[in-house]
């Protein structure tokens, strides 16, 4: 195992400052009490994990901020089952470090900064390695959460395969706190591989030159192919790709700038997308996935790029910073059904109100 | 006009049937329960589905969506009567996009047909239930189907990017996208696995995976079930997640061998079928790991499929196992539960004990890699006493699995079969939350009523007093 990704915390991404006026419950019951009371009094509640994705979505106003910092730690880790139950406030760095000791990973974002498990699930962000392992939501086996009106609800189960009732674990993934406070999740794990490497190239190789690489990242500096597998397999893939190889995962530096956007598009259109970025933008494009994160000057007009992306079934959403432009763009169709779902979990509508697309 | 007249007005008389034989066929799925279909319809388009749904809603008649009817949990059984909507004629592969490795398909497309049709692009649809040569993609979506190869690739939900669905008011919406991380709540994720209770899926955007460059398939024989189960855990612990890791016990091996002559070692207590896929260098190394772990666990024999024909024969033995059971008895009850992989050995022991205690013939062939058990009880439904024992044993088996940290179903779903067992796993508050979710989509209960959630699930009204006036909950 390379040490490069063991040092994810070095690459701190920007962290918003947590408001001083906050409560830090340490049990689910305390969370339930807080939310139940807030529902009765109509106080608006914000939920705070690591604060790394506060700029995503509409800014919300809150009378009370619940920090998940007191809900931290691994509850149950069965290496042979490839599952871990972990509380929401656990920092990603700590979880992955612990799992690494047992030769496993939850394949969560590789440069998480202060992000927590609950925050990553609530915002639905994924690792670069999603090209090989799928997005974070596909590792969500069980969710425990307190609804906006203080009900403690569990969905899913602690096994790797499950069709027992509606898929609440996926519903909560990317819900941005709008349904309630996630208190713990059970995640599917993967074993670490024997060998890892990063191959640097000047151009994107044909998609299937190597079978299912871990990630194919393009930046202004060129292309990096991240490989993981058995020793002979990775060696063979390096040979086929050519280019300059180093062992371990050499991730691009996190994007630095006051405003960072994420363009999401069918992967085949990624080349077109890159040609449309603002000139001089820093970017990290995930080939095969269809996401480009890029920096833009604050006065850059996102409208044309967004219009094109939305016309192709994609989106341009704000990852970091403040902007005059809408953080989400055009809301998805069938907003009414989303509104009803939120009302089913948060009837008085008190938690992270209006953060999602459509300000629902 | 009668209901049937109105349906004929929408679909024409050839695609509406009240023929007694058809109603008989469509009144059950591949499980044991039977309902009563009032009428069966075969729409071609989502517009037709929407018209049928609007009619059903207006008349207060249930809609029971149905794919190939291979489900085992009575999810497609019209137990409350109503209109069975068969999707089998919506079987078009609308568009294959080899660049983005996706396809838009109708719900009636047969699972295996999709992989066959996309093979020309070197792509396949990963979910591969044993019934894949007949079951439909729409059915897979409804029950979040698995199959041997979801050990490494995940169940159906990981392969569905978007769905077009007709809701209870007849509105047709599309949720999800071919672009990553569509914004807003993951309504797509909720629809997959909802067993036709939230809406009727009329089109699906599926993710296709590249066919692996190489494959190794191993057949491992063991003198004890424990040794086979230890090998399963050992392989995972050694850092290998095989594409598939299937177990077959001796009774099942004998039944299959008698029927198929695949060369299975019938003197072994348990067989493992292991498959690794990927680059040649990877599959060789991983096959070595499996061999080593199996040897450490005392495997009696290990053999590697020499070519594609041998591999195909091994898989035929696995996937047609249920057919082989016909030799043992006229009927079978196939169970589907999951336990954590580490609890396999003790759970298997309990399941054998239960079957013996109820004097039942039980065989096992299952997805050992993900702890997904399929105890299969052969019986004669003409014998009421035996049938009664089958049901009692089945319930005890579920209870044992849940007590070991397991769940009710890994890939078949809850349907009617396990609906009343849901409280084993969920609190009244959990079930109430699920019932509320159902109401968001289908407030009047048009779609597949009484499935998944036990009666009385919507018991809590904790939050309703806070509902703002006019809010739609």
Each residue of B356-395: pLDDT tens digit? 999 999 999 999 999 999 999 999 989 999 999 999 999 9
**Complex prediction ipTM:** 0.94
The distance of A272 to chain B (nearest Cα, Å) reads: 14
Nearest to A161 among B102, B282, B338 (CB): B338
A:B CB pairs within 8 Å: 292
Residue A280 CA, distance from chain mean position: 26
- A342 contacts B185? CB cut-off 8 A: yes
pLDDT digits (tens, 9 = 90+) for A243-267: 899 999 999 999 988 999 999 999 9
| Residues of chain B with C-beta less than 8 angstroms from the C-beta of A135 | 180-181
Contact B180 A154 (CB under 8 A): no
Q: Which of A40, A53, A150, A164 to probe by mutation at the B interface, max B CB count within 10 Å?
A: A164
Q: How far is A34 from chain B (nearest CA, A)?
A: 15
Check: CB of residue A121 under 8 Å from CB of residue A133.
no
Q: Taking the model in full, what pTM does it have?
A: 0.95
Q: What is the mean pLDDT of chain A?
A: 93
Q: Which residues of A touch B466 (CB under 8 A)?
A: 39-40, 149, 347-348
Based on C-alpha coordinates, what's the Rg of chain B? 23
The residue in chain A having the minimum alpha-carbon distance to the alpha carbon of residue B232 is A80
User: What Å distances lie between residue B102 and A266, B105, B114, CA to CA?
Assistant: 10, 10, 11
Q: Which residues of A touch B99 (CB under 8 A)?
A: 267-268
Q: How far is CA B19 from CA B26, B29, B39, B40, in A?
A: 11, 18, 8, 9
Residues of A in contact with B237 (CB under 8 A): 79-80
- Pairing mode of beta strands A283-286, B375-379: unpaired
Closest CA relative to residue B356, chosen from B382, B375, B338: B375
CB B405 to CB A154 under 8 A?
A: no
pLDDT tens-digit profile of A93-146?
A: 999 999 999 999 999 999 999 999 999 999 999 999 999 999 999 999 999 999
> Which string of DSSP letters, residue by residue, matches A256-320?
-SS-EEEEE--GGGHHHHHHTSPTT--EEEETTTTEEEEE--TT---HHHHHHHHHTT-EEEEEE
Rounded CA-CA distance B355/B362 in Å is: 6
List residues bridging with A46 in a β-sheet: A65
Helix or strand or coil: residue B303? strand
CA–CA dist B43, B91 (Å, integer): 11
A167, closest residue in chain B (CA to CA)? B190
Residues of chain B with pLDDT under 70: 460-473
Tell how strand A190-191 and strand A104-105 pair up.
antiparallel
Residue, of A238 and B469, whose pLDDT is higher: A238
- Testing the interface with A: which of B174, B185, B289 to mutate, by most A Cβ within 10 A? B185
| Cβ of residue A337 closer than 8 Å to a chain B Cβ | yes
Residues in B touching A176 (Cβ below 8 Å):
none
Q: Which of B141, B173, B183, B290 best probes binding to A when mutated, by most A CB atoms within 10 angstroms? A: B183
Give the number of C-alpha atoms closer than 13 A to the C-alpha of residue B322, restricted to the C-beta side.
Answer: 17
The DSSP H or E segment spanning A324 is none
For residue A20, what pLDDT is reported? 67
How far is the alpha carbon of A301 from chain B, nearest alpha carbon, in Å?
21
User: A219 or A14: whose pLDDT is higher?
Assistant: A219
Contact A344 B434 (CB under 8 A): no
B31-56 exposure pattern, b = at least 16 Cβ within 10 A, e = fewer: bbeebebbbbbbbbebebbbbbbbbb
Asked whether the beta carbons of residue B213 and residue A211 sit closer than 8 angstroms, the reply is: yes
Which A residues in the span 25-44 are in contact with B, Cβ-Cβ below 8 Å? 39-40
Q: Do B468 and A348 touch (CB under 8 A)?
A: yes
Residue A307 contacts B, CB cutoff 8 Å: no
Q: Which of A164, A337, A358 sits opposite B441 (nearest CB)?
A: A337
Nearest to B241 by CA among B407, B411, B370, B410: B370
Six-digit token string for A108 = 């969560």
Mean pLDDT, range A156-167, rounded to an integer:
94
3-state secondary structure B34-94: ECCCCEEECCCCHHHHHHHHHHHHHHCCCEEEECCCCCCCCCCCCCCCCEEEECCCCCCEE
The pLDDT of residue B460: 59
Q: Which residue is associated with the tokens 């490795």?
A: B101
């Amino acid at each position: 195992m390379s040490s490069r990704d063991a040092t994810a915390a070095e690459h701190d991404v920007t962290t918003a400052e947590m408001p001083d006026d906050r409560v830090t419950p340490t049990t689910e019951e305390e969370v339930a009490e807080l939310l139940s009371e807030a529902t009765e009094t109509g106080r608006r509640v914000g939920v705070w994990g690591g604060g790394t994705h506060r700029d995503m979505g509409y800014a919300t106003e809150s009378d009370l901020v619940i920090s998940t910092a007191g809900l931290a730690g691994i509850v149950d880790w069965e290496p042979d089952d490839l599952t871990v139950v972990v509380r929401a406030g656990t920092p990603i760095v700590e979880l992955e470090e612990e799992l690494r000791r047992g030769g496993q990973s939850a394949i969560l974002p590789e440069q998480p900064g202060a992000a927590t498990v609950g925050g990553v699930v609530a915002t639905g962000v994924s690792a670069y390695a999603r090209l090989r392992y799928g997005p974070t939501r596909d590792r969500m086996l069980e969710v425990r959460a307190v609804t906006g009106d203080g009900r403690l609800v569990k969905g899913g189960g602690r096994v790797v395969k499950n069709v027992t009732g509606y898929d609440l674990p996926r519903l909560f993934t990317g819900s941005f706190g709008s349904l309630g406070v996630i208190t713990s999740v059970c995640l599917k794990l993967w074993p670490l591989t024997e060998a890892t490497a990063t191959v640097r190239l000047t151009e994107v190789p044909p998609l299937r030159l190597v079978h299912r690489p871990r990630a194919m990242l393009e930046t202004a500096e060129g292309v990096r192919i991240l490989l993981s597998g058995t020793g002979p397999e990775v060696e063979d893939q390096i040979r086929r790709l050519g280019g300059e190889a180093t062992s371990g995962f050499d991730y691009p530096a996190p994007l630095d700038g006051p405003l960072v956007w994420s363009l999401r598009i069918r992967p085949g259109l990624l080349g077109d997308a890159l040609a449309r970025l603002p000139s001089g933008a820093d970017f990290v494009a995930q080939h095969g996935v269809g996401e480009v994160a890029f920096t833009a000057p604050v006065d850059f007009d996102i409208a044309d790029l967004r219009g094109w992306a939305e016309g192709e079934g994609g989106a341009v959403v704000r990852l970091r910073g403040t902007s005059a432009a809408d953080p989400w763009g055009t809301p998805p169709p069938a907003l009414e059904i989303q509104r009803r779902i939120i009302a089913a979990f948060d009837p008085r509508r008190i938690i992270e109100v209006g953060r999602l697309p459509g300000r629902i | 006009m009668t209901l049937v007249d109105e349906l004929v007005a929408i679909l024409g008389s050839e695609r509406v049937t009240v023929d007694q034989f058809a109603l008989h066929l469509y009144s059950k799925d591949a499980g044991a329960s039977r309902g009563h279909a009032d009428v069966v319809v075969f729409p071609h388009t989502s517009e037709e589905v929407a018209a049928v749904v609007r009619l059903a809603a207006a008349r207060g008649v249930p809609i029971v969506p149905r794919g190939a009817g291979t489900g085992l949990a009575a999810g497609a059984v019209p137990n409350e009567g109503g209109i069975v909507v068969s999707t089998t004629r919506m079987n078009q592969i609308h568009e294959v996009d080899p660049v983005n490795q996706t396809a838009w398909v109708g719900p009636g497309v047969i699972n295996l047909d999709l992989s066959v049709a996309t093979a020309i692009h070197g792509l396949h649809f990963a979910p591969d239930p044993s019934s894949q040569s007949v079951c439909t993609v729409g059915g897979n979506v409804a029950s979040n189907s698995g199959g041997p190869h979801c050990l490494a690739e995940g169940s159906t939900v990981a392969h569905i990017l978007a769905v077009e669905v007709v809701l209870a008011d007849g509105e047709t919406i599309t949720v999800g996208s071919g672009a990553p991380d569509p914004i807003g709540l993951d309504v797509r994720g909720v629809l997959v696995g909802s067993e036709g209770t939230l809406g009727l899926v009329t089109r699906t955007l599926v993710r296709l995976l590249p066919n692996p460059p190489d494959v190794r398939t191993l057949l491992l024989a063991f003198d004890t079930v424990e040794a086979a189960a230890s090998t399963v855990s050992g392989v995972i612990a050694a850092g290998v997640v095989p594409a598939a890791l299937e177990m077959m016990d001796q009774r099942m091996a004998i039944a299959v061998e008698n029927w198929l002559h695949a060369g299975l070692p019938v003197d072994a207590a348990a067989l493992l079928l292991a498959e690794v896929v990927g680059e040649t260098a990877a599959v060789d190394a991983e096959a070595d790991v499996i061999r080593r772990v199996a040897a450490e666990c005392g495997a009696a024999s290990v053999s590697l499929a020499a070519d594609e024909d041998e591999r195909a024969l091994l898989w035929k033995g696995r996937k047609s196992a249920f057919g082989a059971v016909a030799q043992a008895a006229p009927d079978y009850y196939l169970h589907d539960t999951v336990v954590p992989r580490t609890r396999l050995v003790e759970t298997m022991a309990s399941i054998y004990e239960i079957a013996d205690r109820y004097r039942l013939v039980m065989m096992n062939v299952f997805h050992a890699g993900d702890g997904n058990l399929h105890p299969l009880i052969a019986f004669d439904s003409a014998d009421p006493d035996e049938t009664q024992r089958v049901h009692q044993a089945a319930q005890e088996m579920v209870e044992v699995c849940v007590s070991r940290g397991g769940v009710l179903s890994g890939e078949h779903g809850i349907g009617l079969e396990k609906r009343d067992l849901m409280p084993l796993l969920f609190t009244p508050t959990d079930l109430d939350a699920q019932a509320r979710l159902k109401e968001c989509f289908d407030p009047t209960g048009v779609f597949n009523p009484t499935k998944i959630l036990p009666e009385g699930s919507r018991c809590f009204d904790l939050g309703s007093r806070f509902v703002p006036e006019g809010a739609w909950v």
